Structure 1
Amino acid sequence: MTQSHRRSHRARSHQHTYVHTGHVHTQDHRYDQGHSSQELSSLAEYVVPDGLDSVLGSFATYARLKGRYDDDWIDRLNHLYTTIILIIFTIVVSTKQYVGEPIHCWCPAEFSESMVDYTNNVCWISNTYFVHFDEQIPQHTDHKRTREIGYYQWVPMILLFQAFLFKIPCILWRILTASAGVNLDKIVTLAAETQYVAPDDRERTIKHIVRYMDRWLENAREYRSGCFIRLRQTISKYCCIVCGKRYGNYLVTIYMFIKLLYMSNAIGQLFILNEFLGTNYNVYGFEVMNHLARGEDWRESPRFPRVTFCDFKIRSVGSVQSRTVQCVLPINLFNEKIFIFVWFWLVFVSALSTANFLIWCYTMIFRQHRIRYLKKFLRINECYKSELDKKMAVKFAEQYLRQDGIFVLRLVGKNANDVLVSELILQLWNHYRNKPLFKHANQISDDNSNV
């Protein structure tokens, strides 16, 4: 390597982060140059020390799977874990259906091997019908059609379609938040990862997050004036009928809409499967629990019969022969167990999604709960003592943070812990009190109280 190459290599290395004994040393001027929107992206380079790579390396795969931090664990239960479960079921059923032999028909002795293969194939692609062994086989075609089972060929497709439906709200959430002017995932990720860094890096990270949030909150304000604008701003404080980036409730309104989609999707899929299977699938789980409560053996279900009948015709020279064969569907052994689990899982996810939606409505839509949330942390930090602090706390919640700012803090608490939320609120409170406009208002209030 030439001397000029060595100098250029050293020059480039001085522009990067240096690692020494597991701690990261950065040049402070790289964070003080301007206030670009890429500040949080640069913070990710030093928040987690390289010394922790050996410790956290085994969790790399899970971290990629878990994805982002811009929602809560109920949302991830819907769009991540439920999707993974449904895709696994799709692979299991597809392997048995397209690699193995999903159907076996009992053919007459005079059938050759090629005729047996033909019978299996034609009965698989056509809908078989179920008749209990205690009943006579219907003679009319219309009666047979009412007993047809036409879902087993499409089970992999419907499971994949279900997985896609669970992913749609997450896709919409990330598309809509991309234009909100704030990187939710980066804020919550950096706040959560400060639990594993040195105290100096932790404090510096929190300060940069606060500065980033302050610029976002300032840029999202409405600087126009007018009676209609003031009216819309007043309405937006109490309900989400008026929504906009300038009114401080854009993220909250979108998030509540996404929550509603998660809940509707989980409940609606029970009815979708009811139409797809052509049976009373809505009460399937209750029937299973009833059999288990009575101590009865769980045998073949009429919804997923394993022995069915198939009618087909063979055209020969000068005549058409009709054949009826008895077939066994091993694939329904898997379908039965899969859809039993899917029923209980959908009910479980529906209940949690509904409860989570109501909790978020209770905590975010009502004004007094948002203010109470901030007051709790201000009391912990001993910032809520005088009458002036109480008045400023309301302005801090309604005029500075507003609904979207409190929503971001709640997301940090859901994905990290309340200790970080407390530190962020303390830094935001000090940042708010040190603004020139608010310092002037505080001095006037103090003078009036002295008089």
Structure 2
Amino acid sequence: MSVKSVIGGSWATWSSIRGNDDDDYVDRLNHLYTVTILVVFALFVGGGQYVGDPIECWCPAEFTKPFIAYTKSYCWVKNTYFLPMHESIPTSIEEREDSEIVYYQWIPIILVFMAFMFKIPYIMWKMLNSFSGINLNKIVVLTANTQVGDAKKRDGMVVNIANYLDKWLYTHRQYRNNIAVRVRKNVSAVGCFLFNHREGTFLTGIYLLCKVFYLANVIGQFFILNGFLGGFYSLYGVEVLDNVVSNKVWRESLRFPRVTLCDFRIRQLQNIQRYTVQCVLPINLFNEKIFIFLWFWFLVVAIITASNFLLWLWRSLFRENRVKFVKKYLRIVEAINGSSDKKICRRFSDEYLRDDGIFLLRIVAKNSNEVLLTDLIHYLWKMYNKRLNAEAETDGGDNDDLV
């Protein structure tokens, strides 16, 4: 695979949809692992509903087999309602209908919908980062592939990648230095929210935006399930913990009752006869455990995603973090010697790499190793110094126009 292939490539491939290379582990926790869990649960519940026998009803003795089959089908489709055994059945039809459980047939569909919601931020990321002028996924794949193989080929590939990154960074620099450019530059120094190629904030800005969507999505899942399950889901996990801590017996959840009631009417000529039967929903035994697990899983994912977003925001807002990141790797190869090199290192970080370059290198670091990233930064450092020296000779020592 050559560096030329980085320029090409379509985002609409299985690899890009799977999305395993151009983000960090927290993103994958959302769009890959959580999606996988939800889809597996959807298939499991759907199999129990549509392949097995999701409902069994206690029917009167005079019911024949066709009547029993009709009763089960009707109660499954029409909904059942839950009343504890110690409570009497209301005589009012409206009261019974208010207690109906209307969601258990749709659980596989809602789980698939939730999985799609977790995938949306990554689809946005893949679509938007394709406008950055570089195929980030291909860069990460190329750097990861250089970790094994012949040493000469490895060094040659790292040099090729560094040359390509150098062209990308140099092409997206500012060519002018007027008042408008300086204002944009000062504003972009506060944050990465201009999504500007010339200011080097495009990739970082859209990545932080997608982080916001990841966080909003996982928090929004609690509200979605709260509405879908008829309320009270937001405190579901707290109730479970309270039962465990207080050693209470967890017999049955009001949200996922296993024994319910079903009303239906049968017309025989002009006579309409009403029946109330008791039904069992075996699938709710699994639904209850699935949604308990999902409550705790979403809570953990929300905490990790929020912490990760704040970390990336902190890295992006403060320029000093960029300089520290670069110095860390340049000191490994002893490329910084003296105060002049430290000043050049700051310019290298702030004016050459900028937010997008640092962001790309951080993503490479999370998907390869420290040795490879050290070599890559070192090659970029040498190319930058070479350009500085060449421009100094051309301009008689004045190289302040390099941005």
TM-score bracket, normalised by the shorter chain, equals: over 0.9
Deviations 1:302-333 (A, max 9, x none): 11000000111111211211111111111111
Q: Which moved more, 1:153-162 or 1:196-205?
A: 196-205
SS at match of 1:311: strand
Structure-1 separation of matches of 2:398 and 2:175: 25
Question: 1:175, CA displacement in angstroms?
Answer: 0.4
Which has the higher Rg, Structure 1 or Structure 2?
1
Q: Which residue of 1 aligns with 2:89?
A: 137
Deviations 1:321-365 (A, max 9, x none): 111111111111111111111111111111111111111111122
* TM-score using structure 2 length: 0.92
Given candidates 38, 42, 47, the residue that maps to 2:5 is 38
CA RMSD of aligned residues (A): 2.3
Question: Which residue of the other structure, out of 347, 355, 372, is the alignment partner of 1:420?
Answer: 372
Q: Secondary structure at the match of 2:266?
A: strand
SS of structure 1 residue aligned to 2:21: coil
Q: Give me the whole-angstrom Cα distance separating, in 2, the residues matched to 1:352 and 1:110.
A: 58
Match of 2:190 among 238, 244, 248: 238
Distance 1:241 1:187, change over 3 A: closer
Aligned to 1:153: 105
Give the TM-score of the pair, scaled to structure 1: 0.83
Distance 1:140 1:350, change over 3 A: same
Q: Quick one: percent identity of the two aligned structures?
A: 46
Distance (Å, rounded) in 2 between the aligned partners of 1:134 and 1:39: 69
**How far did residue 240 of structure 1 move?**
2.5
Q: What residue is the counterpart of 2:138 in the other structure?
A: 186
Q: Which residue of 2 aligns with 1:312?
A: 264
2:363 pairs, out of 411, 427, 438, with: 411
For residues 97-116 of structure 1, the aligned pairs below 5 Å read 97-116=49-68
Q: Do the aligned residues in 1 keep the contact of 2:143 with 2:158 (CA within 8 Å)?
A: yes
Assess, with a 3 A threshold, how the Cα gap between structure 1 residues 242 and 213 changes in structure 2: closer, same or farther: same
**1:54-203 maps to which residues of 2 (within 5 A)?**
67-203=19-155
How far did 1:186 drift? 1.2
| Contact preservation (8 Å) 2:20, 2:28 | no
Tell me how many residue pairs correspond in the alignment.
394
Task: Name which of 310, 323, 328 aligns with 1:376.
Answer: 328
SS of residue matched to 1:315: strand
Paired residue for 1:440? Answer: 393
Please tell me the residue identity of whatever aligns with 1:299: R
Which of 252, 259, 275 is 2:204 aligned to? 252
In the alignment, structure 2 segments of 5+ residues that lack a partner are none
What are structure 1's unaligned runs of at least 5 residues? 1-16, 18-30, 43-61, 447-451
One-letter identity of the residue aligned with 1:412: V
Question: Could you tell me which amino acid in structure 2 is paired with residue 352 of structure 1?
Answer: I
Rounded to whole Å, the distance in 1 between the matches of 2:145 and 2:214 is 28
- Higher RCO, Cα 8 Å, sep 6+: 2
Structure 1 stretch displaced more, 154-163 or 227-236: 227-236
Matches within 5 A, 1:212-361: 212-361=164-313
Structure 2 residue matching 1:231: 3-state secondary structure:
helix
